[in-house]
Structure 1
């Protein structure tokens, strides 16, 4: 099985790098700013369990377009799967490019944050096989050509005959993968956890340090409580995406520090310097995924004739935030009116 990574950012380079390190043929498609370091120095992938591998440039298939990537991989009869790792706002453009370059029924797996990307792929390129996926972990770029997974978890794909074969390849390549019959529930369960991304970005702190600050946790708990209420109104039951059941997450987050660090020990299993992808986007001056996270909660609320004022406020705060600013947990609680 061959793979094309469309969106060779942190997640794309980690997943693609692990596949390539295991001997799979992988083509990386990305912007010049991300592809140039790979062309000059290869790619290094590592994780918090101690795995580390360096791939020389000669071991990588690099392309500036999906069409070129597809042509470079068509030297055998192996099936080719596209792993889509761009930010949600770039999904439709990427899907149109994939649709123009790849044959009908090409499988495109969304490994993106958010709950709306499969629909975007289908709308933009209906002849593709869009498959929902979920990458649970935090990956950061330590160097322009080195990515590091700082938290734990397994990839998740919608259960189907094609993804069963794919899951076996991914797992054998060091990317443990599970299959789910209801990816909508999985995606909303992951979104609950991803509501911490804007909190972490505004805190300007490593994830572990932010999560051990009870004020920031109160903000996250309030965002999750609001989102859970909106989901209930929409008859969505989010899947368990962590060691704690979705309905219990806000209660655990509000615990005193001495108890939280014991109850949520698995949640805190991460590199000391791990940060959210939204923080990284802010530092690089890139568009964030706030509209795919808090914005999705706001849109779901509107569809069911209710509101999500905290998520709406977070969308505005992230959009207005300047690199280098740090909002304390107490100030964030006060701004949002969280008791």
Structure 2
């Protein structure tokens, strides 16, 4: 089947899913967005607006979109399924794909975390399931704003482990390249994703938070703990933003003026962009903390390496989740305070 004839289903049309699906639809591909009822209603009413850091700002009218909340309608039509649900929904989407999708449909995980592809493969035995990685941040417009807007707020190429899909999925605004070591890529991305929790706890825009050395010191501490656990486990993460992982904590600990000078690529972010974990707290939804910091804690426990900073931040995010009051707006000193109120070293 020629690429132009393939139907792409976005399984989990939230921020990343709507952005990917929007770019693919604008490029002329047949795309079906499988979305929550809230997103489905917004798209049917106002269509979709897709914008990015480079200044593109494109719209798709409601009648040009194919969107449904019914997996039994969307998945049987799929030649390629891009899984963009949060990690906590991986088992649910696996069941839906197994029940409704054709056995020859190719499944690509574009999720955070390091083990979603393995979980999909475990539940979809005999099917083609590929790992992927989305390096950029996508911001969704507030509830009620129409058309629903998804804005790519940082840069980078999507990576997938199969070169055969690059020509299908690589379109304007959504660059894709093949990579042969996706496990290393996912562990590398996880190191930077440890910052998602700091944005969620502070409530600050990502660029503002990263420009403040006090927050970067906390991120560097987490990455140090993660790298020790990875080394003890024989895991070699891929480069992040062009840097060897071992250098990342050193760069993060630089004075603000020097960091801004040397880490321009890391700071090339829309000024208002925050993390998906912040968005989850604001909306009262479960976060991906168990698949980000949680993955490091599990690895550290198995390896016998300490991870007190990662453990502390995990606990704070779980407290914020339980309170359902959105971001707690913490200061760096509140994050680094130990349980008895003293500052940790």
Bin of the TM-score, shorter chain as denominator length: over 0.9
Q: 1:309 maps to what in 2?
A: 308
Could you tell me which of 3, 22, 28 is aligned with 1:23?
A: 28
Task: State whether structure 2 residue 65 is matched by structure 1 residue 66.
Answer: no
Task: Write the mapping of 1:129-140 to structure 2, written as runs, cut at 5 A.
Answer: 129-140=128-139
Q: Secondary structure in 2 aligned to 1:281?
A: helix
Question: Structure 2 length normalisation: TM-score?
Answer: 0.92
CA contact (8 A) 1:243 1:267 kept: no
Task: State whether structure 2 residue 329 is matched by structure 1 residue 330.
Answer: no
Could you tell me which of 151, 155, 173 is aligned with 2:154?
A: 151
C-alpha deviation, 1:102, in angstroms: 1.1
Task: State whether structure 2 residue 39 is matched by structure 1 residue 38.
Answer: no
Instruction: Note the residue ranges of structure 1 that are not aligned, 5 or more in a row.
Output: 75-79
Looking at structure 1, the residues matched to 152 and 118 of structure 2 have their Cα atoms a distance apart, in angstroms, of 28
Q: 1:77 maps to what in 2?
A: none
Instruction: Note the residue ranges of structure 2 that are not aligned, 5 or more in a row.
Output: 1-5
CA contact (8 A) 1:218 1:333 kept: no
Looking at structure 2, the residues matched to 306 and 266 of structure 1 have their Cα atoms a distance apart, in angstroms, of 31
Question: Structure 1 length normalisation: TM-score?
Answer: 0.93
Looking at structure 1, the residues matched to 332 and 49 of structure 2 have their Cα atoms a distance apart, in angstroms, of 35
Q: 2:174 maps to what in 1?
A: 175
Looking at structure 2, the residues matched to 176 and 135 of structure 1 have their Cα atoms a distance apart, in angstroms, of 10
Q: Secondary structure in 1 aligned to 2:277?
A: helix
Q: Structure 1 residues 300, 293: CA separation in 2 closer, same or farther (over 3 Å shift)?
A: same
Partner deviation per Cα, 1:61-109 (whole Å, 9 max, x = no partner): 11222220135x47xxxxx100000111110110110111112242110
Task: State whether structure 2 residue 215 is matched by structure 1 residue 212.
Answer: no
Partner deviation per Cα, 1:129-177 (whole Å, 9 max, x = no partner): 211000000001024411101001100001x3xxx23211222343111
C-alpha deviation, 1:46, in angstroms: 0.4
Q: Secondary structure in 1 aligned to 2:292?
A: helix
Looking at structure 1, the residues matched to 315 and 35 of structure 2 have their Cα atoms a distance apart, in angstroms, of 29
Partner deviation per Cα, 1:186-233 (whole Å, 9 max, x = no partner): 000000010000011111000111111111100000000000000001
Q: 2:3 maps to what in 1?
A: none
Q: 1:127 maps to what in 2?
A: 126
Looking at structure 2, the residues matched to 127 and 114 of structure 1 have their Cα atoms a distance apart, in angstroms, of 23
Q: 2:12 maps to what in 1?
A: 7
C-alpha deviation, 1:324, in angstroms: 4.4
Q: 2:197 maps to what in 1?
A: 198
Looking at structure 1, the residues matched to 21 and 298 of structure 2 have their Cα atoms a distance apart, in angstroms, of 32
Root-mean-square deviation (Å): 1.5
CA contact (8 A) 2:106 2:127 kept: yes
* Residue range with higher mean Cα deviation, 164-173 or 36-45: 164-173
CA contact (8 A) 1:99 1:127 kept: no
C-alpha deviation, 1:128, in angstroms: 2.6
Q: Secondary structure in 1 aligned to 2:337?
A: helix
CA contact (8 A) 1:216 1:332 kept: no
Q: 2:255 maps to what in 1?
A: 256
